[in-house]
Structures are given as C-alpha cells and as structure tokens.
Amino acid sequence: MAGSTFGKCFTVTTWGESHGPALGAVVDGCPAGLPLCEADIQYYLDRRRPGQTAISTPRKEADQVRILSGVFEGRTTGTPISLIVENTSHKSGDYQQIASCYRPGHADYTFDQKYGLRDYRGGGRSSGRETIGRVAAGAIALKLLKELGITFCAYTKSIGPVKTSDTVFDKDAIRKTPTAMPDYEASRQAEAYLQSCMAQKDSAGGVIECRIDGIPAGIGEPVFDKLDASLGKAILSIGAVKAVEIGDGCRTALAKGSENNDAFVSRCGRITKKTNHAGGILGGISDGSAVLLRAYIKPTPSIFQKQDTVSQDGENITIAIEGRHDPVIVPRAVVVVEAMAALAVTDLLFENMHARMENIISFYRK
Amino acid sequence: MAGSTFGKCFTVTTWGESHGPALGAVVDGCPAGLPLCEADIQYYLDRRRPGQTAISTPRKEADQVRILSGVFEGRTTGTPISLIVENTSHKSGDYQQIASCYRPGHADYTFDQKYGLRDYRGGGRSSGRETIGRVAAGAIALKLLKELGITFCAYTKSIGPVKTSDTVFDKDAIRKTPTAMPDYEASRQAEAYLQSCMAQKDSAGGVIECRIDGIPAGIGEPVFDKLDASLGKAILSIGAVKAVEIGDGCRTALAKGSENNDAFVSRCGRITKKTNHAGGILGGISDGSAVLLRAYIKPTPSIFQKQDTVSQDGENITIAIEGRHDPVIVPRAVVVVEAMAALAVTDLLFENMHARMENIISFYRK
Amino acid sequence: MAGSTFGKCFTVTTWGESHGPALGAVVDGCPAGLPLCEADIQYYLDRRRPGQTAISTPRKEADQVRILSGVFEGRTTGTPISLIVENTSHKSGDYQQIASCYRPGHADYTFDQKYGLRDYRGGGRSSGRETIGRVAAGAIALKLLKELGITFCAYTKSIGPVKTSDTVFDKDAIRKTPTAMPDYEASRQAEAYLQSCMAQKDSAGGVIECRIDGIPAGIGEPVFDKLDASLGKAILSIGAVKAVEIGDGCRTALAKGSENNDAFVSRCGRITKKTNHAGGILGGISDGSAVLLRAYIKPTPSIFQKQDTVSQDGENITIAIEGRHDPVIVPRAVVVVEAMAALAVTDLLFENMHARMENIISFYRK
Amino acid sequence: MAGSTFGKCFTVTTWGESHGPALGAVVDGCPAGLPLCEADIQYYLDRRRPGQTAISTPRKEADQVRILSGVFEGRTTGTPISLIVENTSHKSGDYQQIASCYRPGHADYTFDQKYGLRDYRGGGRSSGRETIGRVAAGAIALKLLKELGITFCAYTKSIGPVKTSDTVFDKDAIRKTPTAMPDYEASRQAEAYLQSCMAQKDSAGGVIECRIDGIPAGIGEPVFDKLDASLGKAILSIGAVKAVEIGDGCRTALAKGSENNDAFVSRCGRITKKTNHAGGILGGISDGSAVLLRAYIKPTPSIFQKQDTVSQDGENITIAIEGRHDPVIVPRAVVVVEAMAALAVTDLLFENMHARMENIISFYRK
C-alpha cells in the first residue's frame, strides 16, 4: 500500500532504511519559481542530528542532502524534486543482536507480523532515521510558506516532569539548549533529569509544542481533510507520538462553553478573537489566529536495562540492548514536527485556491 | 477540494446540510456478499439521536435511513452503497438570528472566510447533523468488521470534572445512561453537573474512550498511513474534537522507558504483551492487543449566556443564542467515534491484504 | 475498491443500479458561488434520454434530477452537491431471462467473476443508466467551465460506415437529428443504415468527436496526470468505448514529422499554431488551441438475433435477447463524452492553480 | 500537483530531468518477499537504450540502475523501493539552441506556459529520458506479475506505412530486429523506410501492440478505474502517444453487434470465449482472455529540416534542430508500453483482493 506518500496537491514520498545506502524523499506538486538550494534544506536536517550535546550519543551522521532534480538555475521548475542523503555512518555489527528477538516498544514484532520478514539492521524503515526524508521535504514547504508570511516555531514544552515556564519564552534558547526548550532554567532541570535517567539506564518522553503564525483564515477542507485532522495525522505519523492536541486540547474537556468559546471582536475594521482556546481552528478551518498544537512523545524504547521479551522463535528471553541510543528523542523531533506541520499546511493552502468561483474566474482571466 | 471523502480502498463520501432536504453518504469499495439491511444501519443512527433524556433537548429527529443502491437480495453487490436520511424536523425560523452574526466557537466565521458565503440555517455543513452520513457509513464498516471478529466499544470516559471509575466497567450502562457512561454512579454525578451547567446557561465537554478488540497484528501502512495516524485523522475530523490519544497518550510523556515499554511474552505458543501502554499499536502497526484511543471534546459552543461577538458587517455586538441546544454533545458523539474508527480500520485492513507476496500468490492461485 | 470516484480536486462519486430505487452522484470540490439549479443539470440529462426518435426504443424514462445539498439561494456553497434521479420506469419482468445466463458482450460474466454475484436486473451497475450520475455531475462542470469561457461540442462523427462530411459542419443538426450528427444528409444515411440493422436484428457502433474550445495553455500535470491521459481515462471509462484518439490520433502513426509538427507562429503579439495535428495538447499540457478527441464505440451488445452463450451453470445454450434495446448507443453517448471531458478538464484546471509560486503569492496577498 | 505518481495501491513516483544528475523512481506498495535485484531491472532498462542499431543515433547512455532501499537479502521488504539511474552521458552544449525558442511538436511552449520557466537543456522533464523511471518501476511490476503467471509481450506493429504480417509472428525477432517487430521481412522494409526518412531529414511514427496473457477474470474497478480506462491512462501518459485501442479498437465502430460480440462457450468445464474482439475486457473488467491493446505514436518531433517557429521573445523565426535524434522512437517505446501496462495491472490486481467478503474472511481467518 502506498502508505509512504503524504498529501494530495503538494505530496511527499519518502524512502530509505537506517542501514541502506541512502534515504530520501521526492516532493511533487511544488510550484515553479521558488528559490531553492541545498543549504535551505541542510539547515533543517542539521537540526535533527545527534552527537552534539551531553544528552545525545556521539554518532557521526553527516547527513548531507543533495538535490537531484526539480531545480534549475536556483529555482524550482515545478517538476518533482528528488532529495537524497547518503548513509555514511553505521556499523552493521552494532545491531546484530536484534535480528533474533523483538525489542519491547519497537516495531520489530509488528513489521514481522505485517511483512513476514524485516530488515533487522537498526530499525530499518521504522528507524528514527526515516525522519530524514520528512525533514528534507518539510524544509521545502517551510521555505515556500515563509514566502507567504507563514512561520513555524516548534520547541520542547516538557521533558518528563520538567515543564517550561508559561511566562518565560526565550526563542534563542530553542536553538541553543540541548533540549530545544525556550527556557534556559527549565533546560538545566531537564538535563539533570535526563542524566538521572541515563544513570538508571532508562529513558524519558516529553511534549513538543508548535505555533504557526500567519495562516490566513479559510484553510482546511471539511469534513475529512480539516486542518486539525490533517495536522493531527501528520504529527501522529511521526514515530513515538502518542497524542496530539489542538489549541487547549485535553483541557477543553474540563472547560465550560463560556470559558472555552473565543469571542470575536472587531478592531480597526479587522475581525479577530479575544482569546484563542480553539488554537486557531474552527470547524476544521483556520480562523486567522495562531494555530497551536502539541505532540506527546513516549520515552525512547531502547533502554540499557534488562528487559523481558521473546526471541523470533517465540522463546521467552531477557535482553539488554546495546549500541548507541539517546535517552530522549524529543529535542530531535522538534524539527520533524515543524516539517510535518508545514507539509500539511502547504497541501491545504493549495487545495483552498479553488474554494471560490470568483477566485477561479479572476485567476483564469488574467 | 475533495475533503468530503475518507479512505482509499473502503471510501465514504458524505453530503448534506442541517437544513437541506436530506443528508447521506456513498460507501465505495465495500466487498460483495456482506449481508446488509437498513436495520443494521438504523441501529447506529438511533444511538446519535437526541430528545430522549433529561439532558438533551426534545428535538424530534426521525432520521430513518434508506439504502438506495449497492444491495441486492439482502447482500452487498460490491457496487457503491448510497445511503439517504431525509431531514424531517426543523423550522427555518429557529436559526434566522445567526444569519447576521458569527457565533463564537462555531464555524460561521471560517466558512464565510473560506467560501465567501454560507448556508446560515443551523450550521449547514458544519452542523452536528453532518455526522449522520458518517454514522450510516460507519455502520456498514462495523458490520463488516464484526464478521471478522473485530469489535468496537466506545463510551463516555468523563464529562467535565466527572470521571468514570477505573475499576468499574458496566457495559450495559453505556446504552442505558443518558451520558453513555459505563458507570451508573458517575453518570448520576455527571447529570447533576450538567443540570448545573444548564442552570448557568452554560455547556460542558468531555472525553470519549474507544476500545477495539480483535484487530489482527500487522494492520497499518507506514510511514504516513499508520494505524494511529489514520485513526487520529478520523477522530479529529469529528466536530468539536480537540485532542486524540493512543494508548496511554499524554501520560507517556511523563513515563520512563522502563515503565512504558510493553514486554513481549510467549504463552502457549502465542506471542502477547504483558502490558499495553502502547494501546495496541507499535511503529504505526497493530500488534494484536486491544487498540485504545481517546477523543477530547470541547464544550458545546451554543450556550444561552450573553456572548460578545461581531455581526457579519463587522460591528461589535452581543448575542444570546436561541433555539434547541444540548449542554453537552459527548454522549451523542460516542457512536460517531465508533463509526469513524471502524472506517479507518476497514480501509487499512483492505490495504494490508497485499503486504506479502505469498498471500497474493495464494490468493490468485485459487 | 473506490473505483466509483473520479478526480482529485473536483471529484465525482456516482452510484446506482438500473433497477434500484434511484441513481445519482455526489460532486465534491465544487467552488462556492457558482449559480446552479436543477434546470442547469436537467438540460444535459434530457440529452441522454431515449424514446424520442425512430431509431430508439420507446422507453419512458423521466429522469428528473433533484439537488439535495450543496446549493443555497441559487448558488453553490462549496460543500458536496448530492444529485439524485429516481428510477421510475422499469419492469423487473423484462430482464428475468438474463439472471440465468451470460449475455455476450455484456458484463454479466465479469461482474460474476469479480463479485461472485450480481444484480441481474438489467445491467445493474454496468447498465447504460449508470451514465446518469456522470452526466448530472458533468453538467455542473460544464456550467462552471462555461463561466471561464471553455466550451464543449461533441457530436456523432460516424455510425457504422456512414461518416459526416469533413467540409460541412451544421451545429444545429446535432440537437435536431436523431443521430446527433452535424450533417443532415449523413444523418439520413445513417438512419437508413440503422433501419437495415434493426431489420437484421443487429446493432451498430460509431465514433463521437469532441472539440473543446477555450482551454488556456498550461493545463495538465505531467507525467501521469497529463491532460490527454486524464481525458483518455475519462472517455475509456464510458461503457462500450474501445478506443480514444487525441488530435490526429491513429493517423499520426502514418505521418512524417514534417507533416505532423504544428509550427508555432506569432500573430499580433500572440503565439499560436499554424496547424493543430496535436489536438491542442503538447507534452500532456494544453497549448491554447482547440482540444480534439474521438471516442470509438462498439455496437450495442444486446441484439435480437440468436447467440451462442453459456448459462450460469456452465451449459452451452442459445439465447435471443428480449426487452427494449437501441440498435445504437452512440447518439446517447454524445452528452456522456462531453460530461466526462468536462470533469477531467475541471479537475486539472484546479490543480494548475498552484503551478507557479508567483500565482500563489499573489493569491494569498490579496 | 502530484501528477508524478501513478497508482493507488501499487504506486510509482518518478523524478528526474534529462540533464540533471540522475533520474529515478520510488515504488511504494510492493509486497514483501518478492525476489528482486538490480539485474531484474537492468534487463528492461537495456531495452530502451539507443545507439545500438543503424536507425538509432550513437548516444552512449549507460543507464545503470541502483536499488537504494526496499530490498534486503535479495527480497523486497514491503517498504518503498528507491531506484536511481545516474545521468552520465550528455553535453550541455548540445541543446543551447532550444533555450531561446519553442520547438514545434515539443513541450517547450507548454511547459513555459504552465510554469513560467523551464529547464531548457534537452527536454528536461518532458524528455524521453523521463521514461527511465517508468521502465525501472515497471520492471518490478513485470517480475511480480510473472510470479502470478501474467506475462506481457509488446512489439512494434507498424512503422509509417509498413505493417507486420497478420499471419507471421516471430517472437525472437522482437529482440533481434532494430525495429522491435516480430517479422524480419517487415522490419527490413521498415528500416528502408526509415533510411529514406533520415535522408529527407524527417521522422516517422508507428504503432505498438501489447498482449497480456494470464490476467484472471475479475480485474478492474468500475466505473472509473476500469481495467481499460486505467490501461488507457497509463499508455496515453507516455510521451508521443496520440491514441489507444483496446481489442478491436477503432474497428469496432464499423462492426455490427453480431460480428463484434464474443460468444461464450463452455469447454471442459471452463467458460471461455469463441472470439476476442473485446480484447479481454468486458464492462471494464478482465474476462480471462488475453488483453490486447495498441498505442499509436506520432513521428519524432525533432527533425533536421528547417521549421518555422517562434523565439521565446515571440519573434517568428526559422530553425534547424541539431543534436542527436532518432528518426523514430517506436522501438524504444515498446518496453515503456509493457512497463506502464504492468503498473496498471498490478495496481488493479491488488485492489481486487477485497472485492468479495468471502475472500476477506478467509484471508483474516488464517
């Protein structure tokens, strides 16, 4: 099944396994005339790389992207854009252990159940490296949307029990802290928490929040391709994500209507809202306010503690995972959340262009 | 944009406005040979009808479904199944007020922004009556899946601050309480809470939990049409849903890997898991355990309190909504959650059939 | 499988069997603001009705369409448009014969092979009445395109060996002759040919030509959703069509490059072509010239002569088909060709709107 | 728009320009467990290479394919298969001429109209080299279908006025003649014809016929994704194809029903047909007979004669194309027709698996 393509108008098809020669993506439906070069994409890929901080394992992953098609003289041509990142850093020997058992919390078992076989080296297609294609493609969407004044800002909201402040928001800290938190103090606490997890040979989860500014009102296609539903699918498709919130999310279930409704107000001839509990989406369509969403990420399944599991032959065994594993994946997933959100928004922005007869008429009468 | 079609192999296209002549759905891709009659569908439609309890408003909505195609001599033919429910109960006069303003929390504003006009009678396409098509189509999926031993059980987990017990689960209570809770005591408390909301001319939200049993391992199409991502999209597309959880959902962000991983264990030659924090899905593919998900629903936007808003001309005004509105929609949405989950599962069950060459070979060598 | 939906942006889902209660279609993705009423659609449905001429059988098929959703105060709302035509004229008794055998040239056998059962009354879903949904939906596309200055003119080019003149083109004759030919003289000859076919208890085929004017250059999505490929699929999906030509079609295989190339020429500052062998499409994209296509239609399979065939039990038998059958379906298929072509063009017109970054920027900076 | 993806269950996304670094394709939905290696694909790619005969120009195109993902230990894993062919043979200088004008018969003009710019080196995305991705992906489909006993045989039926014999069919000749004709004598005549075309600085077209054996009855998804409609779209999407025939194709328009109907007959307990005018497809579904189709290909637009055209600035000019061009592309397109047909058939074969409830039940009760 074609489960590896996302989108209808602006589509991405990703491919590649953690231990294959390369990974990549093909972006189709990108309009012609967008300035694009490898540096535009590399910027985002670099944000997902480990081995740079105290809380990530020192794996050297160069992950340099090359653009193989769809760009000419510095601009997109409207034809499919093929992106490739060669795998340069892995040792097959690292992962031989898992060929013979099903690691808890990983997709080894389910891939075997589905396909009858699996590439047991690393996680194969279920490896975190699969996000390389998503981020590379998302980088193009992010650039395109920026041209339209639409910007994305994702960051770590919490790691384990450590939350960022609701009053302090330090944008610089997102790129400077190893936790990708917009709060230096919270980051220090989170790092301490992670050190203790590592000492226990354990791992942690966390929450990523993403704010999208500049989406014009009217984006989203009821009733099934609503903006929130499409964003939700995009985010839930990221490995390890176990919940998605839009706006106030889970808290809305506790609120009363008088508390949750966002009152409209007209200021200087523009209609806006007094509050934004809705997170910028009403009836599945953007209302012009900031879109807010949250992704809840489970703790990294690969821990060094002993775990009970079964071998591929069905015997009960105990394993202790080896190799290189981060105690938390949340900071690395921040750019993936931005990328996936951007892909969903771009797709719906294009679909919206034929929502009104008057726009189609003026488009074709030019 | 074709936002009104859900699915790839087993698809549903819904149509209809709250104040049009009728609503309905077309189901395509349903296999031939499934016994099907109107009663099979009516059973589920009846579960979404208001006017039967103290906490819902007495609106008479007969909502009788007719099957117009795709069934012959009591069985599906494999051709598209057209379902229609005539609108028999509404008075245009009820909703004239909203023609001239944007109700807070409703999609009036966003539909106007998107389309430049809207059917202001009731919510038009954004009305809760739009779920009629979903439930009618979902009923077919539910029947089909039952033939495969896959069953769905959704219920209200909480309304406002009132939660059902974690230890008591009374399945009968789901159909007998006006709250659709599996807990008579919690239901009484919830009803009291809702009475107080109504007295305050306010509304409440809540949480719906859905448990799916019997999904074989291997269902879901990585990386974008994963089972959790597809379920998430299906659920988030339901009006008023602001968050979705899979398995332990938001709680996973607080857990450690040693707590969250589900250990595999072999019992009597079958591989199963000791726990199910994952909610039955690993790497986006079902693992054979029960699938658990949760939908968080915001409080009904239509409240009788005065609210600030703007008129369609952009003037700041105050309104007090009139008409017939429930203080909570959660109990009515329970069957919608089952229906949407069933549609997502059916679609992926079909897609999975060509996951392995050996299965295709044996299928076509019969 | 969802084989009953056509299109990506502007989609149509048709449903209904010849002997069910009704047939219809749901159009999704139609922009808001298009003036639309039942008469707009009825005009096209009336063009497919038999029983009005000497060469068609006197079946009374009222085929009155109703619009059930998606239109408000005379304009489309942007929400799905549900169209329904009740089946009012059939007698189950007419078709009992075919329940027990496989008629040559019909889909009885293949539907049985695919689904294991079939609605044997009439052709069920494979009946020519299935085109009702296509034409009703196509009528909306035709109206929409007309607003953009794009017009369709389809007509019978030949019936059996009788061809219309290459020099005479009488547009009025299309609607006035029973053959839908733009040539009264050829029509008389064709009618004579058909009378002789009827006398022999036989049937005839023919060719429909369709000319589309006003498509701007640039429409079509290489490399798989090219304009010619999409038109071809649309036309070949019509029952009884066995070949499709674009422009000079089959004749191009005999031509030399110097004869077949259309030279570009600049006249009054506009680029146009000296000839149009290409039929208005180059590289799968419209070039601004008239688009020309042809559909080749096999003779009606239902003939009154004795035919060898097999019974459903696999016995060799001879049958003589009874009931009401036209000796030729070509004149009735003319409006179906227009409808399908319009659906394909509309879909690609919408997709083209995001082909250039500059257009997207100006669209969203309004 | 995502026009570069073909299929729903078994999908192909192609990418690459004639003068970019590489071309390729991503195949998604391929089942796991199919033995696959680069040689399987190279075999088909080699069949599209020029420079080997007297009637093709000596361009060195190594076109070696590499498999970058989706295969492990010699078998497909069920994950996306990325195929890449590096461009090793081109000189930018060859094509500078066309940067400034619109070549007749080529897509220069239409790509400019659509995108506002184009990669003018060679044909860019509209170059014949774009078929590399199609053939590479089609090779996988061909291998898969062979495992199911479904085989494809395409060949040149005619070049210009020279047709192959209706009585002689020499399968070896297809691979041994430079024309890919199954008739040595006709090939000699065709080569002579082409020599005369070359002497005139002109080009020729032709017809490719493709026969598919072994498709079980029941394949195809009415009413829009019929087998013939899907094959037609696949074939018409190939550059230079201007017509498609199924079975007797255009000739059916001249036949009578008694001549065109294929009588069913029961032999040894199996139902078959006495004739096959239908080309193996009835009601859009395969009937178990051989599927026959024909693609009509226009003469190569690049001829060395002087041609009138316009410059990119809109001035009327005369050009004489330089560079390396074959006088006919038909022999090279034979493998492309097989590839595209195989992609269409594979996709529909997968979709058919859920046509009957009984099959789904037995599939999931294993």
What is the ipTM metric for this complex?
A: 0.96
Residue of chain D whose alpha carbon sits nearest to that of C348: D1
Report residue A1's pLDDT band, with 50, 70 and 90 as the boundaries.
very low
Do residues A158 and A165 make contact, with C-beta atoms less than 8 angstroms apart? no
Beta-carbon separation of C351 and D3 below 8 A = yes
Which residues in chain B have their CB less than 8 angstroms from residue A23's CB? none
Which residues in chain B have their CB less than 8 angstroms from residue A348's CB? 1
Cα dist from B193 to A257, A317, B159, B189, whole Å:
14, 51, 8, 6
Cα dist from C179 to C157, C165, C188, C327, C331, whole Å:
10, 14, 9, 11, 5
- For chains A and C, CB pairs below 8 A equal 84
State pTM to two decimals.
0.96
Query: Which residue, among B6, B14, B77, B347, would best test binding to C if mutated, counting the most C CBs under 10 Å from its CB?
Result: B77
Place of tokens 């076919």: C197
Beta-carbon separation of C115 and B32 below 8 A = yes
Which residues in chain B have their CB less than 8 angstroms from residue C81's CB? 15
Beta-carbon separation of C28 and B3 below 8 A = yes
Cα dist from C351 to A20, C143, C150, C271, whole Å:
35, 18, 16, 24
* Whether the predicted pLDDT of D92 surpasses 60: no
SS3 content of chain D, % helix, strand, coil (to 5): 35, 25, 40
Place of tokens 């069913």: D264
> For residue D1, what pLDDT is reported?
47
Q: Write out pLDDT tens, residues A81-134.
A: 999 999 987 655 666 677 889 999 999 999 999 999 877 776 778 788 999 999
How many Å apart are CA D167 and CA C261, to the nearest integer? 34
Contacts of D74 (CB under 8 A, 6+ apart): D35, D36, D37
Q: Write out pLDDT tens, residues C176-207.
A: 999 999 999 999 999 999 999 999 999 999 99
Give C209 to chain D, closest Cα distance, Å: 13
Q: Write out pLDDT tens, residues A157-198.
A: 999 999 999 998 999 999 999 999 999 999 999 999 999 999
* Nearest neighbour of D356 by CB, restricted to B8, B10, B32: B32
Q: Write out pLDDT tens, residues B119-170.
A: 777 677 878 899 999 999 999 999 999 999 999 999 999 999 999 999 989 9
Give A214 to chain D, closest Cα distance, Å: 23
> For residue C1, what pLDDT is reported?
47
Report residue C94's pLDDT band, with 50, 70 and 90 as the boundaries.
low
* Whether the predicted pLDDT of C67 surpasses 90: yes
Do residues D10 and D30 make contact, with C-beta atoms less than 8 angstroms apart? yes
Q: Write out pLDDT tens, residues A145-162.
A: 999 999 999 999 999 999
Per-residue pLDDT of chain B (366 residues; tens, 9 = 90+): 479 999 999 999 999 998 899 999 999 999 999 999 999 999 999 998 765 565 665 555 589 999 999 999 999 999 999 999 999 876 556 666 778 899 999 999 999 999 998 777 767 787 889 999 999 999 999 999 999 999 999 999 999 999 999 998 999 999 999 999 999 999 999 999 999 999 999 999 999 999 999 999 999 999 999 999 999 999 999 999 999 999 999 999 999 999 999 999 999 889 999 999 999 999 999 999 999 999 999 999 989 999 999 998 889 999 988 877 889 999 999 999 999 999 999 999 999 999 999 999 999 986
The least confident of A16-30, B85-99, C152-166, D121-135 is B85-99
Report residue A53's pLDDT band, with 50, 70 and 90 as the boundaries.
low
* Nearest neighbour of A16 by CB, restricted to D22, D66, D82: D82
- For chains B and C, CB pairs below 8 A equal 165
* Nearest neighbour of B32 by CB, restricted to D8, D355, D364: D355
Beta-carbon separation of C252 and D244 below 8 A = no
Which residues in chain C have their CB less than 8 angstroms from residue B78's CB? 114-115
Q: Write out pLDDT tens, residues B274-323.
A: 999 999 999 999 999 999 999 999 999 989 999 999 998 889 999 988 87
The whole-angstrom distance between residue A195's C-alpha and the CA centroid of its chain comes to: 25
Give B76 to chain C, closest Cα distance, Å: 9
